[in-house]
Amino acid sequence: MKALIVGAGGQLGHALVATAPEGVEIITCDQDTVDITDPARVAAFVAEVAPDVIFNAAAYTAVDKAESDVSTAQAVNADAVGYLAAAAKATGARLVHVSTDFVFDGSATTPYAPEAPASPLGVYGRTKRAGEEAAGLDALVVRTAWLYGPVGGNFVRTMLRLMAAHPQLRVVGDQTGCPTYAPALASALWSLAAQGTTGLYHFSDGGQASWYDFAVAIQDEALAAGLLQKAVPILPIPTSDYPTPAQRPAYSVLDCTKTYALLGHPATPWRDNLTLMIEEIRKNG
């Protein structure tokens, strides 16, 4: 099998390369290789590569900046997905596209099933929802949440930096979701792609947490691994005390039951994968 990984320079793209099954031929591209907002360039590149499957790990993820940069978010998160879908159809490839929990408004109190009505609160969520629709019925679309991994900027690395530099942290405690380790998501995507799965699915690590819970766990794990020299107080605050340009869903836990059934096992608990991430940082920085 030949796989094209779009957005290979990001944390999910890197994880897809690192977890690729043996025998798979990997072709990578990032924004320096192919402008995915250029339909002619996308069509030509995919035709040249002739992959069996295309993993789209590229996205405009600057949630707050998207509120004032609508055109770029639309181009990357929605229009480009349509170009990839068209190129996949023209070459006989299958498209695997990754979306987000931000397509929901957070008003639920139980995990969101894939079939739950989408109602995004901001530009990022709206453009990602448009991307899901642009992927088409023949694609595999997998929503995930709170992604972090060994490569790239993410909440774990930000918290470690702030914990080392400040005597106290204030972290939002009234937004609930589930941290997801990029290598775990990547492995799930490979497995679903190998099964020829199409349609809309959810995947996150097991359990749920607030950002405050996540921050406390990061500090605990980092102290145990020797990445931090001392603990600092972490105070939970309401979202209203940390205003941002984009509104976040208060509750965005994803129901992954259907996905776990296809994978043949439940997801690893998020705290266990956080331990793996901290160990990765301890060994490799």
**Is the backbone of residue 199 left (phi > 0), alpha (psi -120 to 50) or beta?**
left
Question: Dmax of the chain from CA atoms?
Answer: 56
CA 62 to chain centre: 12
Q: Do strands 169-172 and 176-177 pair parallel, antiparallel, or not at all (unpaired)?
A: unpaired
Q: Which of 124, 148, 201, 212 is catalytic?
A: 124
Q: CB neighbours (10 Å) of residue 225?
A: 14
Which tokens belong to 50?
A: 């002739």
How far are the Cα atoms of 196, 209, 213 from residue 140, in angstroms, in the given order?
9, 27, 31
> Which tokens hold the place of 69?
């940069």
- Cα gap 66→61, rounded to integer Å: 8
Report strand pairing: 53-56 vs 94-100.
Answer: parallel
Instruction: List helix spans (H) across the chain.
Output: 11-18, 39-49, 70-74, 80-91, 123-135, 155-165, 182-194, 211-225, 257-263, 270-284
CB 218 within 8 A of CB 76: no
181 part of the active site: no
Are 37 and 76 a contacting pair, CB within 8 Å? yes
Nearest alpha carbon to residue 249 among 85, 124, 113: 124
Say whether 112 sits in a helix, a strand or coil: strand
Name the residues annotated as catalytic. 124
